Structure 1
């Protein structure tokens, strides 16, 4: 467009600008914005676009990374506090259940365990019975094997039957079998006497000796004497096994229940 008349009559006072390439103008030339306003040169040629320095971008990235790390730390702390709270809740609940169970047990109203209830519902309560027996000496023995008292005094039966002078096994397994016999006599003859524990089973003929003991030189004078013989060991007994006790001199056996007895129990 045409310049105003005032500028036509007067000599132009604007400096002459010579361009060799686009790099001739430095960042300081942008300090004379008048050149751009009057249209001698374009703003794009004299004042190239400004760029954000890389240092500022790095500072912004570092700031964003710091914020992200701070958020991660907060989340980890919240998770840790939540885990601690749940653990304390479980401990308190278990302590309350233990206190309740202790109170019920002390009052004699302890409910049956789930395992026991399951066994009762399946008809397997018999397996919970502790299989054991203890029988004691019986007076006036006439024949062998020895006969025993099964229900008087210290004698008892639990899951084991007493039949025909023997203890009958209804469940196979490991059993500890024991027998003690007290021998007493009026004269000292030093005649050996034997103490033996054996078993029978309908599936096998004859007897099987489990334990035996022989006493010799048991007295030194011609007066009354007494001698004990004890046998005990673990055996794998089968169903329908019957265990017995026999001696060589039945007339020498003392029948007191604290001195002569026989028994077994399942391990």
Structure 2
């Protein structure tokens, strides 16, 4: 933009104004500056809260861990040690507890016996392990037999695992003074297999009987050499009052 002016001496003077000169920057309004400060302050507060929440959660986990520590210690003491061994084909045998934890006593007389490597059977009468934590409550064990201490009705059972070849007999017998101490068969099973056949089989016997005090229960087999004694729980014997 150009302008002409006359001076007192009649001369004209002119000046040129550059329209491209930038206008001065307008300072931000006070409201905008406050708004940006409020956002930054809110974000900072939110981050601090998140950090505090994380610390609180971590403290809770640590507290719970210390609370569970005594319980874990008790469980580790109550849990029985496990034992296992390798069988002939290299496979690991089923692991069994070396000691069972203590339980409350039954309400009535009961007994449960298992086979074991610590005993040796006779030719026909089976004997039972005394180191495998047998269950004997208000009943006695003597020379392979269960001795009844209280008269009543009992469920009597036995299972054996044997080589099924030719002839095999499995029975539970009762010895009582009523019959001059003679063995009275209570339960019996017989297996007869062809000579060409050879396989492992199970025989299970079970029944309810009235038993007198001091009566003795025994398990007989035709040949104890045919018994499979790889695992203790494969041959069992027991009774309980009903």
TM-score w.r.t. length of structure 1: 0.46
- Decide which structure has the larger Cα Rg and report it: 1
Give 1:111's aligned residue.
Answer: none
Q: What residue is the counterpart of 1:250 in the other structure?
A: 224
Cα 1:254–1:132 shift into 2, 3 Å? same
How big is each residue's C-alpha offset from its partner over 1:108-152, in whole Å with a ceiling of 9 and x where there is no partner?
xxxxxxxxxxxxxxxxxxxx8520000001344243311001341
Contact 1:180 1:261 in 2 (8 A): yes
1:211 has 2:197 as partner: no
Label 1:261 to 1:218 Cα distance change in 2 as closer, same or farther (>3 A). Answer: farther
Matched with 1:260 is: 235
What does 1:76-225 align with in structure 2 at a 5 Å threshold?
129-139=107-117, 140-153=120-133, 155-184=134-163, 190-205=165-180, 206-217=182-193, 221=197, 225=199
Q: Distance in 1 between matches of 2:223 and 2:200?
A: 13
The alignment partner of 1:138 has SS state of coil
Structure 2 gaps, min length 5: 1-105
1:179-223, Cα deviation, whole Å (9 max, x unpaired): 0000037xxxx411100100112342211110000012278646x
Could you say if the C-alpha distance between residues 218 and 152 of structure 1 is closer, same or farther in structure 2, counting changes exceeding 3 Å? farther
Change over 3 Å in CA distance of 1:131–1:243 after alignment to 2: same
Structure 1 residues 208 and 142: CA distance shift in structure 2, 3 A: closer
TM-score of the superposed pair, with normalisation by structure 2: 0.51
More helix by share: 1
CA root-mean-square deviation: 2.1
Question: Unpaired runs of 5+ in structure 1?
Answer: 1-127
Separation in 2 of the partners of 1:218 and 1:161? Answer: 40
Q: Given that residues 150 and 213 in structure 2 are in contact (C-alpha distance below 8 angstroms), is that contact kept between their aligned partners in structure 1?
A: yes
Higher strand share: 2
